[in-house]
Amino acid sequence: MQFSLDHTDGIARATTLKLPHGTLETPMFMPVGTQGTVKAMTPKQLEEIGAQIILGNTYHLFLRPGADIIAKASGLHRFSGWTRPILTDSGGYQVYSLAKLRKLNDTGVIFQSHIDGSTVEFTPEKVVEFQELLGVDIMMQLDECPPATAGIAQIKTAVDRSLLWAERSRSAWSRQDSSLFGIVQGGLHEDLRRESAAGLIALDLPGYALGGFSVGEDMQLSYPIIAASAAMLPENKPRYLMGIGFPEDIVRAVSFGLDMFDCVLPTRCARTGLCFFSEGRLRIKNSCYRDDMRPIDPGCECYTCKTFSRAYLRHLFIAKEISACVLMTIHNLHYYLELCRNMRAAIMADRFQEFHDNFFASLKTD
């Protein structure tokens, strides 16, 4: 991976990452393709809306279809038909989300498969080995992601264990065309975040992520810690905020100096009829859109907004037509991607603060 810091405007950054399967420009949003596909989207549709990279999940892909199938296809790119870069999460989030189905210690994590109940062991070494087999551009270390309700002793243990696993992941990392990122943990405790970041920086990894946010805490409490944690990371490496979130969260995070983002929100919300647009968000099922012939967002250039009305999309959604999910997913992802493109343009033009202020001034909901 080749990284360049293209421009700064205050703390906000515009950067470039050159990877084996393409070049990425930040700030950027990564659509989530947990199972090797972004729900309701084809690779061609993702390319048409300007997606630079997608995210897959090591845990889910390991269980299904399995390492043997993906290896037979010569890696995840060939298997999925996506030719641009791929980042895979390590399964660390499942340590949090599947807490009732796992046991963990310093060796690794033992999961009870949510699919068939079988036992699966994840160690830092196995996770790196599998991600290298996938042939992805960016792979994440296995980490322990504690919930927001965890006590400080549990969070401290997670920090220590995640650092131990980062060291083992680095030792296991052998495929230099797959860049290994470390994950900073520490909950809402700035001292633990600093300890975690310092330990990871000492490993001199290609990039760093902030994990352990959006796990049940009040986001208003998270913002100061996210900002402080971002400042702890090297300026000459990519900075990735994992699992965040709403558009306003991403705009704030860019103002904190973060580069990369992912979240299931735009695709999940599309399937429930919640659409993001320049003034906030709207629920397409609301009766006020029954005869509304405007597009979701009159200023949007996506296929959905250039072609269909709110009334038609509401009709499809109420009728439970699959195309409703497809068309609103196209729009929501386009909105997120365009938001990041616009932020980059604002940073490059030294007017990010103006963009930030105008963005929040325009927000309202139906």
CATH number of the structural domain spanning residue 226: 3.20.20.105
- What is the per-residue pLDDT for 366? 54
Checking phi first, is residue 135 left (phi over 0); if not, alpha (psi -120 to 50) or beta? left
Judgement on whether residues 249 and 289 belong to the same structural domain of the protein: no
Q: How far apart are CA 117 and CA 359, in angstroms?
A: 46
Judgement on whether residues 179 and 284 belong to the same structural domain of the protein: no
Q: Which of 263, 280, 315 is the last residue of a domain?
A: 263
Residue ranges of the chain with per-residue pLDDT less than 50? none
Q: Which of 214, 231, 263 is the last residue of a domain?
A: 263
Q: Which of 263, 289, 308 is the last residue of a domain?
A: 263
Judgement on whether residues 259 and 302 belong to the same structural domain of the protein: no
- What is the per-residue pLDDT for 93? 87
Judgement on whether residues 202 and 247 belong to the same structural domain of the protein: yes
The boundaries of the domain holding residue 346 are 271-366
Judgement on whether residues 73 and 146 belong to the same structural domain of the protein: yes
Q: Are 239 and 261 in contact (CB under 8 A)?
A: no
Peptide bond preceding 91 in cis form (omega within 30 of 0): no
- What is the per-residue pLDDT for 82? 98
- What is the per-residue pLDDT for 99? 87
Judgement on whether residues 136 and 284 belong to the same structural domain of the protein: no
Judgement on whether residues 54 and 187 belong to the same structural domain of the protein: yes
Judgement on whether residues 35 and 163 belong to the same structural domain of the protein: yes
Question: In terms of residues, how long is the chain?
Answer: 366
What are the beta bridge partners of residue 180? 139
- What is the per-residue pLDDT for 148? 85
Catalytic residues: 89, 262
Give the number of domains in the chain: 2
The total of other beta-carbon atoms located within 10 Å of residue 294's CB is 11
Across 66-218, where does the E strand assignment appear?
Answer: 86-89, 102-104, 109-112, 119-122, 138-140, 179-184, 207-210
Judgement on whether residues 164 and 284 belong to the same structural domain of the protein: no
Judgement on whether residues 129 and 179 belong to the same structural domain of the protein: yes
The helix/strand/coil state of 137 is coil
- What is the per-residue pLDDT for 285? 98
Judgement on whether residues 44 and 68 belong to the same structural domain of the protein: yes
Checking phi first, is residue 43 left (phi over 0); if not, alpha (psi -120 to 50) or beta? alpha
